[in-house]
Structure 1
Amino acid sequence: MATTFSASSSAGSPFPRSEYERRHREVFEAMARASLDALLVTAHGHLRYLTGYDGLGGYFMPFPLVLAPGRKPTYVVREYEVNGVRVESCIDEIVAYVQQQDFAKVCADVLRNYGLENRRVGFELGCWNLAPADVIALQAQLPNMKVADATRVVPSVSVVKSELEIKAMRDAMAITDVAVRTFLAALRDGVTEVEVAAAIHGEVRIADGDDVRLFSLGFGERNKLPHAKPTCHPIRNNEPAMIEVGGIKRAYAAGLVRSAVLGRHPETESLYALAEETLEAALAAIKPGVTAGEVDAVGRKVIGRSGRPEVFRHRTGYQIGINWGERGNLSLEPGAPDLLLAGMTLHMPIILFSESGYLFGCSETVLVTESGAEILSRTPHTLYRA
């Protein structure tokens, strides 16, 4: 039912093995602070951060990375995916299961062999890719195991970037800037969203980007849709356009929101002016030692002074890097207690809602430095008028 593999080549990992070993050490330190005897990492972004493998084969069942002090990190995966995991990850110890119903027993056997059947084991309960049924099945196999919520353990480490990661973020932002410049240059009466999307993908390939993610691309009335996907809808004179896009380099994403108006559109232009003021105030508040909630409060204060509090319906920003975003990661939202530290990278999307339903705004991805926020993009966040 279970097969053990070893000697991963790690040839496909985007970073040297030493970088992953550093990450593992820091996660073990975070586990000790959380009084965990072991950790099961299941969120795709966290798996990629710790192994190099994107985790996408885990759509069928979780692919937990088992971390326990004194033991080599162990990946529990479907046998079907073993070769991909061996090539793309830095993990030497791989234990495989065959069928979905085998997962709980095989994973429980790993934990039992590591002497964890009566210990406190952390699970990423607040992340994607771990279902309640998975935890219940494991507990049925190990009834004396103590389940602890370890949602924030890996993010507490990954939020502060190494020099290698910062280089990847800068490279990703260079690709994002190519995408944004292509978007702006393509705007003309009658051009469609899919035509602009195709132009973006083409220019990103020429620029040697690994990939580009279009979170949103909408023209005119379709800017009333959150995360609008490109369609054959054209833009016309005196209509707005907005894009949220992120270039990808070595799995790291750098997001940007940019907006434009073809001609004039007073409703969204007014909304944009408020979004820009809010963004600039929040950026000015970023420095090591302030809390995520304090930065969020600065932005909300600008919105409050405008007399239009209903236009802001989400958080001010969030941790960005591997996999763009992950549920459970650091979030700049009301009351968030997390302290900002030098080396963090944050995406700050200020997208506001007009009274008639338009979404419009701007963003920056920034590196937190000892002197404040360093904007990574070279594309100004001023409103583009075509």
Structure 2
Amino acid sequence: MSAQSSSNGRFPTAVYGERLRRAAEITADAGLDALLITPGPDLKYLIGSGADSFERLSCLVVPADGSPASVVVPRLELAALGDSATSELGLPVRDWVDGVDPYALVGSLLPQPGRTAVAEAMPALHVIPLTAALGAPPILATGVLRELRMIKDQAEIEALRRAGAAIDRVHARMGEWLRPGRTEAEVAADIGAAIVAEGHTGAEFIIVGSGPHGADPHHEVSDRTIEPGDVVVIDIGGPVAPGYNSDSTRTYSMGEPGPEVAAKFAVLERAQQAAVDAVRPGVTAESVDAAARDVLAAEGLADVFVHRTGHGIGLSVHEEPYIVAGNRIDLAEGMAFSIEPGIYFRGDWGARIEDIVVVTADGCEPMNTRPHGLTVLTP
């Protein structure tokens, strides 16, 4: 069976077995006794479950002592485990019905009372009663889960490659939809359909920032009509099975840009490449941010680069590691993140170039291969 995914859209069962083993090991190394994971990206990472979180508790219990992990789930939600690796892994399932205390049930599955960590996504309506059942407040499992999810295994990297290639195919078609006289919303609707047609399971986000809207990094879409001469920022992405995301930004010009726009964009292109070139194991995340920022600062553009250089990506569009000043974490082989410097001139125009890269033994592998230059589309 391919390491990409099994016939039901998950990775092979052995991938999840190894992740559970490592989760228990890292939990023990952190001096914790158990890990409690409710629905969300962490549950999907560990057992391939896309279950939703409701007021009734569903929880994966991972003891740190090597005892088998188990799943607590409301009986009426048992079907939600069908898309997961629970059965193939042989995980015990403890279902419960209304009237039963699921928090006490979780407590009974722990080898001993002790220090327990919970996923960041666990709602407070579960954390508070769990505290009472465990006899002590749990701590956040951020450190454990960060170490697990930041380093992508080969199955994850293959999924990110497929995601990157799929979103590149959408950018390659931009001339079909992006032209003066159409609204941002009309262009976004076509992009959304193409994101699915090119291999994603859905469109997670679509930014069409035309003219002055391009100067807002988190603009989405509006009814503004695209005009000749506009610079347009297109930032798009979505998941491919089994849930790994693409995220790529390219900037387009509706006709030949003026010399000032062209000159400033050329600096941005150099800044993005400098950051890509800076990536390798052992350098800090903040040094990659500085590589892009220093190029822009040297040309007087420091003040118009208003966000971090990048963010990790995987099952979540934004996750660790963050490529930002102050983050002194050393990059390691298998980390995946965006490199996306931008320049923003409020009320006028903006531009951004974004690739996803994966750290390799001696540098990085870009997941996106579309040209970085300002793409001129003839009105």
Q: TM-score, normalised by structure 1?
A: 0.85
Q: Give yes or no for contact 1:42–1:64 (8 Å, CA) kept in 2.
A: yes
Letter in 2 for 1:321: G
- The aligned residue for residue 275 of structure 2 is 282
2:376 pairs with 1:377 = no
Instruction: Identify if the C-alpha distance between structure 1 residues 347 and 109 changes in structure 2 by more than 3 Å, giving closer, same or farther.
Output: same
Alignment partner of 1:122 out of 103, 106, 117: 117
1:374 shift after superposition: 1.5
* 2:13 counterpart letter in structure 1: R
Identity %, equivalent residues: 29
Q: Which residue of 2 aligns with 1:164?
A: 155
Match of 1:135 among 127, 133, 142: 127
CA contact (8 A) 2:195 2:203 kept: yes
Is structure 2 residue 304 aligned with structure 1 residue 311?
Answer: yes
The offset of 1:311, in angstroms, is 1.7
- 2:340 aligned counterpart, secondary structure: strand
Kindly provide the amino acid, as one letter, of the partner of residue 20 in structure 2. Answer: H
- What is the match of residue 260 of structure 1? 252
Aligned-partner Cα distance in 1 for 2:97–2:209: 43
Q: Find the partner of 1:212 among 203, 208, 233.
A: 203
- Higher mean C-alpha deviation, range 228-237 or range 160-169: 228-237
CA deviations 1:227-279 (Å, max 9, x no partner) are 33334432110112111112422111121111111123667555533432221
Whether 2:89 is the aligned partner of 1:94: answer no
Paired letter, 2:269 = E
Q: After superposition, what is the alpha-carbon deviation per residue over 1:301-335, rounded to whole angstroms, capped at 9, x for unaligned?
A: 22332333322222211221113224xx2211222
Counterpart Cα distance in 1 of 2:299 and 2:57? 46
8 Å CA contact retained: 1:65, 1:73: yes
- Name the counterpart of 2:3: none
- Confirm or deny: 8 A CA contact 1:174 1:247 kept in the other structure: no
Quick one: structure 1 residues 150 and 199, their matched pair in 2 at CA, closer, same or farther if it must change by over 3 Å? same
Matched-pair contact (CA < 8 Å) for 2:35–2:141: yes
User: In the TM superposition, what are the counterparts of 1:316-327 in structure 2 within 5 Å?
Assistant: 316-326=309-319
Conserved in 1, the CA contact under 8 Å of 2:301 and 2:343?
no
Could you tell me which residue of structure 2 aligns to residue 71 of structure 1? Answer: 67
CA–CA distance in structure 1, aligned partners of residues 33 and 260 of structure 2: 56
Change (3 A) 1:217 1:107: farther
Give the corresponding residue for 1:4: none
The letter for the 2-side match of 1:151 is T
What's the offset of the Cα at 1:66? 1.6
Choose which of 28, 31, 35 in structure 2 pairs with 1:35.
31
| Alpha-carbon separation, structure 2, partners of 1:75 and 1:35 | 22
- Provide the C-alpha distance between the structure 2 equivalents of 1:163 and 1:44, rounded to a whole number of angstroms: 22
Paired residues, what number?
366
Q: Does 1:84 align with 2:112?
A: no
Shift of 1:42: 3.7
Cα separation, 2, equivalents of 1:355 and 1:312: 12
Shift of 1:176: 0.5
Match of 1:348 among 339, 348, 352: 339
The more displaced of 197-206 and 253-262 is: 197-206
Amino acid of the structure 2 residue aligned with 1:95: R
Asked whether the equivalents of residues 12 and 88 of structure 1 are also in contact (C-alpha less than 8 Å), the reply is no
Contact 2:39 2:53 in 1 (8 A): no
Cα 1:13–1:76 shift into 2, 3 Å: farther
Secondary structure, counterpart of 2:249 in structure 1: strand
Q: CA deviation at 1:49?
A: 1.0
Give the superposition deviation at 1:43.
6.5
Secondary structure of the residue aligned to 1:353 is strand
For the 8 Å contact 1:119–1:146, the answer to whether it is kept is no
For 2:224 and 2:109, locate their aligned partners in 1 and report how far apart those are by CA, in whole Å.
58
The residue that corresponds to 1:223 in the other structure is 214
**Residues 45-54 or 352-361, more deviating:** 352-361
Please tell me the root mean square deviation across aligned C-alpha atoms, in Å: 2.7
Q: Partners in 1 of 2:354 and 2:157 — Cα distance?
A: 19
Q: What is the rounded CA distance, in whole Å, between the counterparts of 1:315 and 1:375 in structure 2?
A: 19
- Distance in 2, Cα, partners of 1:357 & 1:122: 48
Stretches of structure 1 that go unaligned for 5 or more consecutive residues are: 1-9
Q: Which amino acid aligns with 2:127?
A: V
Once the two structures are superposed, what CA deviation does each residue of 1:204-223 show, in whole Å capped at 9, x if it has no partner? Answer: 44434333333422222332
Matched, 1:174 2:165: yes
> Contact 1:258–1:362 at 8 Å: present in 2 too?
yes
**Structure 2, unaligned runs of 5 or more:** 1-5
CA distance in 2, matches of 1:381, 1:271: 14
Residues 239 and 122 (structure 1 numbering): CA distance in 2 closer, same or farther, change over 3 Å?
Answer: same
The residue type equivalent to 1:289 in the other structure is G
- Is residue 319–residue 325 contact of structure 1 (8 Å, CA) maintained in 2? yes
Q: 1:241 to 1:50 in 2, by over 3 A?
A: same
Q: 1:80 to 1:179 in 2, by over 3 A?
A: farther
Aligned counterpart in structure 2 of residue 236 of structure 1, from 227, 244, 266: 227
Q: How far off its partner does 1:291 sit? A: 1.6
